[in-house]
Amino acid sequence: MAADAASARVTKTERSGTGYLRYGAGKLGGAVVSLLAVLVTSFFLFRLIPGDPVKYMTGGRQVSNEQLAAYRREFGLDLPLWQQFTDYCHKALTGDLGTSYQFRAPVIDKITEALPNTLILTGTAFVLYTALGVVLGTRSAWRHGRLGDRLNTGLALTLYSIPSFWLGLLLIIVFAVGLGPIPGLFPTGGMESGGEEGFAYVLDVAHHLVLPVITLVAVEYGQTLLVTRSALLDEMGSDYLTTARAKGLKDDLVRRRHAVPNAMLPTVTLIFVNLGRTVAGVILVETVFSWPGLGGLFYQALSVPDLPLVQGLFFVFAAAVIVMNTLADLIYPLLDPRVAR
């Protein structure tokens, strides 16, 4: 600390490159540890269950002891716990997540089958709610305290308090089943009507997408709006904005060139974290709209319960969130170099 300022500055710039590498390696290491922890948890969590998993599999039917033993052998439940665990880890790392009880198919196949459908739904919703949240949040902060701001935040908070599944059900009643004079405009559920091809198929899927996407956007955009708004509010008292105004820049320009880029930093993190959060939202929305994605599959697995499938999906959901968070951690210092120091 006693060293003169100049040399201190030099060492700091020299280290800044390796600083990011060290920071990044740390974050990646953390992510790997987290993923392993999820793997361990997903194994032991589903061994908490009292009673015999085989009983769930047979769904209360009358089965002979020989059959039960055969099932146990088939699913590897006759082995000692530690051996089941090492088997599980070994298989999981090679992409084998076990066999679903109810579908009698590899869990990984069911997941890869449903994944693209979920990506279509969440991808569309994600782009829309992020754009909506950032735009409205910026406007709200820039005119904070005015009527428009209060309506914006009020609506965001209200929609945030509404259970997504309920909103979905209402939208189905009003816009799909039709209520009173309103005719049903959209399909009640599913992803396609079947039989369509080419461009007609794309249109058909888009038609099916409308209501679930509206639901997801409505419940998710509020978070982005509020974070963008408060980040921008924090920024608005800053001296550099006063300077920018003092040198005669137009208000609009001050906002777009100076305030918003700086205030976007927390929002960037949030956007990635949101992608993870959408996972939970998508379970409910897909359930309500019978969307054939991961969330709908999760619901089907819960009601049995189809433990290998629940376990596999739990792992996939958690892994997706961890990967997203790590990406946010890795991108953040590129935008704001202070973080990596």
Residues at the contact surface with another protein, assessed by CB under 8 A: 30, 34, 37-38, 45-46, 48-50, 144-145, 154, 157-158, 160-163, 165-167, 169-170, 172-173, 177-179, 188, 226, 230, 233, 276-277, 279-280, 283-284, 287-288, 298-299, 302-303, 305, 310, 314, 317-318, 321-322, 325
With respect to another protein, which residue has the nearer C-beta, 62 or 303? Answer: 303
The least CB distance from residue 87 to another protein, in Å, is 20
Whether residue 255 contacts residue 142, with contact meaning beta carbons closer than 8 Å, is answered with yes
DSSP category for residue 163: -
Amino acid making up residue 285: V
| CB nearer to another protein: pick between 58 and 290 | 290
Length of the chain: 341
Nearer to another protein, 128 or 162 (CB): 162
Looking at the Cβ atoms of 244 and 284, the one nearer to another protein is 284
Residue 320 CB, nearest approach to another protein (Å): 8
Q: Which is nearer to another protein, 71 or 315 (CB)?
A: 315
Apex 295 CA angle, 99 and 177, nearest 5? 130
130: amino acid identity, one letter: T
Beta bridge partners of 99: 106
Rounded least distance, CB 162 to another protein, Å: 5
Tell me if residue 50 falls in helix, strand or coil. coil
The least CB distance from residue 85 to another protein, in Å, is 16
Least Å distance, CB 23 to another protein, is: 15
The DSSP line for 131-156 is: HHHHHHHHHHHHTTTSHHHHHHHHHH
Give me the helices (H) in the chain, please.
Answer: 5-45, 53-58, 65-74, 81-93, 107-142, 147-161, 164-171, 198-236, 239-246, 251-253, 260-288, 294-303, 307-335
Q: How far is the CB of 47 from another protein (least distance, A)?
A: 8
Q: Which is nearer to another protein, 36 or 69 (CB)?
A: 36
